[in-house]
Structures are given as structure tokens and as C-alpha cells.
Structure 1
Amino acid sequence: MLQNLSSPSLQPSSASPSPFTHHSSQNYSHAKPWPLQKRPLTRLSCASSGPKRKMVPQSEKLEAEQLVRSIMWNMNGKEPVLKTLNKYVRVVRTEHCFLLFEELGKNDKWLQCLEVFRWMQKQRWYVADNGVYSKLISVMGKKGQIRMAMWLFSEMRNSGCRPDTSVYNALITAHLHSQDKAKALGKALGYFEKMKGIEWCKPNTVTYNILLRAFAQARNVEQVDALFKDLHESIVSPDIYTYNGLMDAYGKNGMIREMESVLSRMKSNQCKPDIITFNLLIDSYGKKQEFDKMEQVFKSLLRSKEKPTLATFNSMIINYGKARLREKAENIFQKMKNMGYTPSFITCESLIMMYGLCDCVSRARDIFDGMVQSGKEMKVSTLNAMLDVYCMNGLPMEADMLFKSAKGLGIVPNSSTYKLLYKAYTKANMKELLQNLLEHMDRDGIVPNKRFFLEALGAFQSLPAGMETATATTVVGSPLGRSKT
């Protein structure tokens, strides 16, 4: 089966940019792409996001993006949303608001999305549109605001809109972001069955892709098979995202047999693998340390029309590192350079972690220092990787020295930085370092919640008897210990 990845019957397509991430804009997004067509003000019915829209010239897209950047810059300057929008009232239209929803959603500003929406509704040019509601429901779902997503769904129907497939897809996805996964899956299936009974809301390929991936993530193989059977009997067909989404979900759960079954199904349906397919197989086999299969897929990739991406090599480097196969990791890095690839900061972080896992702390630090000397902007994830290397190798003092010098390197520690140091200092019984760390957190305005301490308490299991109480007293006695958690 793996040998056939590059066979003529399964020659990969030339599509696809980025590995290990599924293209939400192509597969799991549920709103139609902007811009929405400007419609006559005399129209009273709700516009559907279903009909095809005219292609917008590239120059108009660039102008719209530039305007949205200007608006976002003003908003980031702490100017009230409505004041900013009113400044641009003569030029802002639906397509600009659609882009604003995208940008605000990326920055976790879902409340501002609602402010923009309310402002939009008051404009003379506004016409209720399924695409707008679909996008807003999607944003709310991603931020865990399920009740707000449901309110928008009701608001849409009250405004005279008739929900279509894209809206139901957005609603299903919103529910799947809920913490109660069992309840969310039940709701999703309920909407799915309801869609099948509405002529203009029939499930499409995206609907099946969302549900198949969700049930695969939940390890519910029986329901995945039932959905595939339903898909086979429907008028829609699986696509590359169907198979990639399933294989990725199974692979991340370590369900290699199920992942290979999907690969076999993909082959039998004459669906060509793309770089995403190759990368997720390489990553899944690497995480299970099935290196023979991982290397076999890599060779198939090199023989195919597809080209490896940086993520292909990053995955192999870190997974070899976890198995302490330093030579193999170094060889794949050398191959990457020989093929003309320039290491990214993620590649460097992968090398840092690989050397740390292989007990080569000095080599890891050489890479970190090289990144500092390069003059490029340092990322907090790189700092965290180096700190993690020190901590996993029992060097808390070195970790503390690097932590104290971080701001001088232009790196601002985040909650993950504090969490990994808290765990390490607790495990090493370094009371003074722990107290200093808590004071740093207090000064930086990092207020840990209950989850922070519960995760850190996992380190207590390896402490000597009595140390648990001593550390707990340290926390309670600190300013943070008195904070609301």
C-alpha cells in the first residue's frame, strides 16, 4: 500500500502549500469567500451565500485589504471600534466588514466582531447575507462562544434569511468546539439529519469532511464507517480533504491501522495524494517510531511530482530526536540543506529539541546562540525550546540564567515559559528559584488559573515526602498564591 503512493494510479497532484495543517479556507471554512456582491437597496429578501459571485479584480482586493489594515491599525491604537468605523463610513462596505471579521477573529476579538456587525446593520447599504452570518458563526465557534453562535443563527432567521448549507456547516463546526465533545457530536449529527430533510440545505462534501474528522478524532470508527456509507449513497463525493482530514485525525491519535485503511480507501477511489498526505503520513509514522514506514513514504515523496516542504524535514528531525537517533536526524537536516532548503525558525527549534533529547545540551545552545547572533527577531517559542532542553537535562540553574537574560534578547516570556520553569523548579526542589519565578510572574502580570497549578502539580509525584506541602506553602505565601485563580 505504501509502495503505491507514487504509482501511476496515484500520482500526486501539484496542489497545496503548507504541511501538517489542513486548509481551513479550502476545507473546513464555512463562509463564502469575500467580497460579497453589492446588491440594490430595494431588495428585501435575504441574500444567499450560495450563488456564484463575480471575480473581483486583484487591484480591488488589494485596496480592500489595505483599507482593512488601516482600520485595524486604528483599532489596535485603543480607539473605540465605532469611532474608527465612522471615520471610514463613506468607503466601508460588506467586503471590508467580512475581512474585518477574519482579522478580529484571528486576534481573539470576537466582541469587536459583534460591534462591527451591529454597525454594519445600521448602514443604508446593508443587506442581510448568509455569508456574513456564516462567517460570524464560524468566528464565535472558534472562540468557544457557542451561545453567541446560536444567537446569531436565530438572529439570521429573524432577519428573513433562510439558512443554507454553509450556515449549517458553520453551526456544526461551532458546536464541535464545545468542551463537552460527546454532547457536541450528538448536536452535530442532529443538524446533519435535519439538513438532509431540507431541500436547499443538503449536506455537501464539506459537511461530511467536518463530521468524519470529528468522529475520527473521537476514535469512533463505527460512526466514521457509517458516515462513509452515507456519503457513498449520496450525490456528493469524497475529495482529497476528506481523506487527509481522516488520516490526520487517526494519525494524531496513534491509530495507524485505521489511518492506513483510509489510505487504502483513498487509493481505491483514484484520489491522488498531495503534499499534505505525504507529510501527515511521515509525521504519524514518526510519532509512533515506525521509522521504516516513515522513510518509505519519504522515498515515495522524493520519487513523486510533489516536493518536500520544511515541515517534512522538521517532523523527521524531531521524531528521530525523540527516539535518540541523533545521526539520522543530522543526516536528514544535511539532506535538507543539500536540496537547497533554508532552515526556518521552526527547523532550528526542532534541532534544539532534538539535541536536548539526545543529551547534547551544548549543541542545542550553539544553535540558540546562532539564532541570537543572526540579528533576526527571536520568538518566545525558541526561548521555551532552549529552556525545556535545560530543564529536561536537569540544569535548572542554567535555565534560570537564560530566563533572566530573555528580555535583554528582546524576548517576552509567556505563560508557557512560566509553566515549564515552574514544573522544573518544583521537581528539582529549588525553592528559591521557584519563589523568584512567582515574583517575576507577579511583576509581569501573569496570573495563573487553577489549570496552571493543576498541570504543574504533576511534578509533585516525583518529589520526596513532605516536599509537596512545602511547595504548596510557597505558592500560597506568594502574591500569586493570594490571587484569584
Structure 2
Amino acid sequence: MMLGKCRQPAAATALFKVLLSERLKPTVDVYTALVGAYGYSGLLDEALATVDQMKGTAGCKPDEYTFSVLINCCSKLRRFDRIPAILDEMSYLGLQCNTVIHNTIIDGHGKAGMLEEMENALSNMLEDENNVPDIYTMNSIIWAYGNHGRINEMERWYSEFQLMGVEPDTQTFNIMVKSYGKAKMHEKITSVLKYMKKHFFSPTVVTFNIIIECFGQMGNIEKMEYYFRLMKIQGVKPNPITYCSLVNGYNKAGLLNKVRGIIRQTENTDVVLDTPFFNCVINAYAKFGGIKIMEEMLQLMKEKKCKPDKVTYTTMIQAYNAHGMDEAAKLLNMEVERVDGKLLGPVSEVDNK
């Protein structure tokens, strides 16, 4: 199973063969893990062949969980064309399509932006007397509509699920807040927070991060800072994503002086800063020509045992080139070659991706 999650199907196959060579009898769970190892690596034909092998092995008939893994693989790979045949096979074997499988199909179509097919999958679930929608169904549906800016449908389905007896959770509200933020519907964000407070839902660090990011992207620094203060007042501990969102907000508003304050704040906490945070800071100073401080941030990054990545070096090389510092760009590119054993590419060709 772990080899499958690490996308090492060949190693998983080898391990399975070792199991057989030691005369150990595979169980349904072992076969299902192998199905996942193939499927999550995009080897659907091998995954299906493993299911067929299970059917011919005594005591290893594939069960609902086996097929839920297989269908989940198809959904993640967006191979929805394979799902009908798999469902037919389940029916032939006398297996029922359970709530998990319905939710997997619904969520997969939603993530792929196939909203009409998603609703059809939901209709199939509602017509199935043995399964009823749950919170996972609800969150998948409202996420899909919210992510595509179809706020009216998102709100309609939010109400529909409540009428079905499905109550929202904190993740539901996080999804709605993010959707309203993308749609720049500020007042709706406030109304969700009021509803949460009224019904005793406590905002999490994810909730506050979403709000801080939303107002930062809108350039509403006053609101962004207000919710950052509120976060700390309510005892919710900021994480690297919080500070990264603050830096991006200040960067967008051109308030470079405030970025230094964020760095000082992190020094007084036990938050372990990561590479994306430093990349945000370096990008902010690079954008406004703060070359010296940009270099200091790279040094600080190394002191904190935080490994620079391609984004770090690309951003800095672009800044050097923009200020005519070709020699500095060349030296940094040479450093990358020494550290990683490969160049980012000719200095003049470094792009902004």
C-alpha cells in the first residue's frame, strides 16, 4: 500500500512476488493494495487485470472496498469512461454500490469540472434506496460549484442538503468562504462567520488562512490585518501558510516595509518556516528591487536548514537580470549547478513560471 502511495508499482509487484515465493497466501486486502498501487500510478489495465486475478483465487473475491479503490483511481485519473463497466462488474458479482463509491464518482466529476455529469451521479445516488447523501457528498457538490464561481448553485445545494438532513461542518464553511472570496463577495464572508459563531462552529487555522488570503488578494489590507489579529485573539495559532498569505498581500499592495515586520513576528514564535514562505518573501523583495535584503533572506533560509528550490533561484536570477547584475546571476546559476548537479538553463532564458 505504501509503495503504491509513493507511485512505485514495480516495487509493489516485486514485493507481491516475494509474498508468493514465501508461500504466503494473499488476502483480499493484499490484492486490493496491489490494485491501488497500479491504479494510482495510472496503470489501469494492470489494476483491472489484478481484479480479474482475484476472481480466480480462492477466498479472494473482490469486495466493495476493492472496487471503491479502483473507481477512485479512475476518478483521479479522470478516466470516467472506465467506471460504467466497473459498476456493471460489481452488479454481476452481487455487490452493491455503496455511499463511498457514489461520493467518489461525484467528487471526481466535480474536481474535473464536469458539473452536469456530477449532478447525474448525485441523481443516481438519490435514486438508490440503500444510500443517502452525507457530509462528504455535500462538501463535494458545493466545492465544485463554488470553485467554478457558480455561487447561486452552491447556495441552492447547500440548502437542499440541509433539507435532506445533512448538516454542514467546518469544512463546508471553509469551502463557502473560499468561494465567496474568489467571487469577491466580501459581505458573504462576514455572514458565514456570523453564522458559524451563532451555531458554535469555531474557525480553524484553515478558515483564517482562507480569509486572510482572500482579503490579501483583493488588496484589502485593513481587513486582512483585522482577521490576522482576530485569529491570534481567538487562540488560533498561525502557521507558515498564514504568514505566506500576509506577505503576498503586502507584496500585492506594495507595502514592502510591512514584510520585514512579518519576518520579525515569526522569529518570536515556534512556527517552523518552510521553503514556500521564504519564496514569498524573496519574491516580494525581488519585485521591488530589494536585492540586498533578498540575498539576506536566502542566507537566513539556509541558516534555518530550509532548502532553496528552483523557484527560489529562478526568482533571484530574474531579479539580478532585471537590474543588470549579470555576473551575480551567473554566479547563482553556478551555485545551483554545484548543489543540484544541473543548471536551471541559460541565464537569459529563465522564465517566470
Q: CA deviation at 1:377?
A: 4.0
Match of 2:19 among 103, 111, 120: 120
TM-score, length basis structure 1? 0.64
| Alignment of 1:134 onto 2:32 | yes
Q: 2:247 aligns to what?
A: 352
Deviations 1:450-476 (A, max 9, x none): xx88xxxxxxxxxxxxxxx9824x89x
- Matched position secondary structure for 1:318: helix
Residue 309 of structure 1: CA displacement?
Answer: 0.6
- CA 1:135 to 1:391, structure 2 compared with 1: closer, same or farther past 3 Å? farther
For residues 428 and 145 of structure 1, what CA distance do their matches in structure 2 show?
48
SS of alignment partner, residue 174 of structure 2:
helix
Most deviating of 348-357 and 289-298: 348-357
Question: Are the equivalent residues in 2 in contact too, given 1:378–1:410 (CA < 8 A)?
Answer: no
Letter in 1 for 2:110: A
Instruction: Measure the CA separation in 2 of the matches of 1:206 and 1:241.
Output: 9
Cα contact 1:113–1:136 (8 A) shared by 2: yes
What's the counterpart of residue 298 of structure 1?
Answer: 193
RMSD of the alignment, in Å? Answer: 3.1
Alignment-mate amino acid for residue 471 of structure 1: S
Question: In the alignment, which residue of structure 1 is the partner of 2:181?
Answer: 286
Partners in 2 of 1:208 and 1:423 — Cα distance? 48
What pairs with 1:322-337 in structure 2 (closer than 5 Å)?
Answer: 322-337=217-232
CA offsets per residue over residues 123-163 of structure 1, 9 Å max, x none? 45x43322223233334444445455345434434534322
Per the alignment, do residues 446 and 151 of structure 1 end up closer, same or farther by CA in structure 2, a change over 3 Å counting? farther
Instruction: Provide the residue aligned with 1:230 in structure 2.
Output: 124
Matches within 5 A, 1:54-453: 101-102=1-2, 104-105=3-4, 107=6, 109-124=8-23, 126-146=24-44, 148-160=46-58, 161-178=60-77, 181=78, 184-195=79-90, 197-235=91-129, 236-372=131-267, 374=269, 377-395=272-290, 398-421=293-316, 431-445=326-340, 447=342
Matches of 2:38 and 2:319 in 1, distance apart? Answer: 36
Percent of counterpart pairs with the same letter? 25
Inter-partner Cα distance in structure 2 for 1:428 and 1:132: 58
Q: How many residues align?
A: 349
Report the Cα distance in structure 2 between the residues aligned to 1:113 and 1:416, rounded to whole angstroms. 33
- Matched residue, 1:68: none
Determine the C-alpha separation between the residues in 1 that align with 2:287 and 2:184. 21
Contact 2:240 2:271 in 1 (8 A): no
Unaligned 5+ segments in structure 1 are 1-100, 454-468, 476-485
Say if 1:135 and 1:257 are closer, same or farther in 2 by CA, change over 3 A: farther
**Could you tell which deviates more after superposition, 321-330 or 153-162?**
153-162
Supply the distance in 1 between the matched residues of 2:176 and 2:282 (Cα, whole angstroms).
Answer: 30
| Distance in 1 between residues matched to 2:316 and 2:49, nearest whole Å | 42
Which structure is higher in helix share? 2
Q: Distance in 2 between matches of 1:141 and 1:261?
A: 35
Cα deviation, residue 368, structure 1: 2.2
| Contact map agreement 2:215 2:223 (CA 8 A) in 1 | yes
Q: How many Å separate the matches in 2 of 1:319 and 1:214?
A: 26
Letter in 1 for 2:97: P
Following the alignment from structure 1 to structure 2, what is the Cα–Cα distance between the partners of residues 172 and 428?
A: 53
Residue 232 of structure 1 aligns with an amino acid whose one-letter code is: L
Q: 1:387 to 1:106 in 2, by over 3 A?
A: farther
Structure 2 segments unaligned to the other structure (5+ residues) = none
